[in-house]
Amino acid sequence: MTLALPKILILSVGYGKGHHSAAYALAEYYQKKGWESRVLDVCELAQPRLFRLTQRFYDFCVRRAPWLWGITYGLTDTADWARLIHSPFLRPVLRCLQDILEQERPELVVCTYPLFAYMLDDLRQRRRWSGRYAVVVTDAREISRPWMRSSADLVTVPDEGSRQLVLERYGLPESIIEAAGFPVRGAFGAASELPVPTQGHLSILYGAYRQTGGVIRDIEALMSSFPGLELTVLAGHRTRLLQRHFAAYCASRRLTVIRETAEMPELLRKSHFYIGKAGAATMFECYSSCVPILVNFTLPGQEQGNLELLLEDGAGYHVESTLHLVDTLHCLLEHDAEGWQLLRRAMVAADRAGGAARVAAAIERRIGR
């Protein structure tokens, strides 16, 4: 007789990269421990058209109107999410989640997006589900109210500073808040023999989140200022525009412009720096890969907290303009790249890698199997 594997259900949502990245890292970890792991985006399953519309709105805010995201973030921070889940738009999602729980009967549920925590609370209150669950917060420091107002059995945050802030801000019991890191897939790891960068040998991964004009200025300045630079740009919807604009550089193979990638671990292993926004997933993937970060873009709200953590660790810089970016890189490459080496040592000292194992250990201590 074959014994059934213990089952974990991880509830996530496809806004940005962080929620899914954390969810799949946890699923990978539990699978290695012998669990049956499933990651589900219940919003996409229950309301695919509405979900795609809200996802496009999020992407528009990120790429073109961060000020609008700031307003939206403020509204979601003050909204009553316990009531919101009974709105006509979200009621089908709640019913879908109830059906999934009845069918799957997981031993453990983990939420990497706060909406589902309130749905689980509602199902417990109405005796439609009787399990226990954990919430994994996917940003640091600037942690909004919805993450903290559910009745989760455990809430993990990325670092001790975030833990102290939420305890003071929201008056929660210390026993349910743990600093456990950000879950990152095992494929992310530091390159063991990455050569020290120089003016003549430099590899950079660039996330094109600034306005188009700013992205073009950055690329032009980087390519002209560092003759040995190999630059890979994650360009999203602007891929063809940038490929046409920089056709000569692309032809020389010094510049590679791609829409997206499934090879992020390999790209980071080959990179001396990452330049882009302070999204939690990419930031902690950089920590795990020991790639210093130069932040040139932050979304209002949660990403400013991620930047605060990065600067506190001494693992990167905030660059406010193209000129500042180029000057910072020149300084970091001086004296046999002493600045670059200091940033890498700071990343190691901060000990931000291994989040999936730490989150799982916290869950075991608080909730058990």
| Span 323-346, pLDDT tens digits | 999 999 999 999 999 999 999 999
Is pLDDT at 220 greater than 90 in this prediction? yes
- Which residues of the chain does CATH 3.40.50.2000 include? 7-183+354-366, 202-350
Q: Which fold has domain 7-183+354-366?
A: Rossmann fold (3.40.50)
Least confident of 49-53, 265-269, 287-291, 339-343: 49-53
Query: Kind of pairing, strands 293-297 and 316-318?
Result: parallel
Is pLDDT at 369 greater than 60 in this prediction? no
Burial of 11 (0-12, 13-18, 19+ CB in 10 A): buried
Is pLDDT at 2 greater than 60 in this prediction? no
User: How far is residue 336's CA from residue 344's CA, in Å, rounded to a whole number?
Assistant: 14
Per-residue confidence band for 1, with pLDDT thresholds at 50, 70 and 90: very low
Q: Which fold has domain 202-350?
A: Rossmann fold (3.40.50)
Q: What is the reported pTM?
A: 0.90
pLDDT attached to residue 55: 77
pLDDT attached to residue 205: 98
CA distances from 265 to 7, 58, 180 (A): 28, 25, 22
pLDDT tens digits along 70-113: 777 777 777 888 899 999 989 999 999 999 999 999 999 999 99
Percent of the chain at pLDDT > 70 equals 98
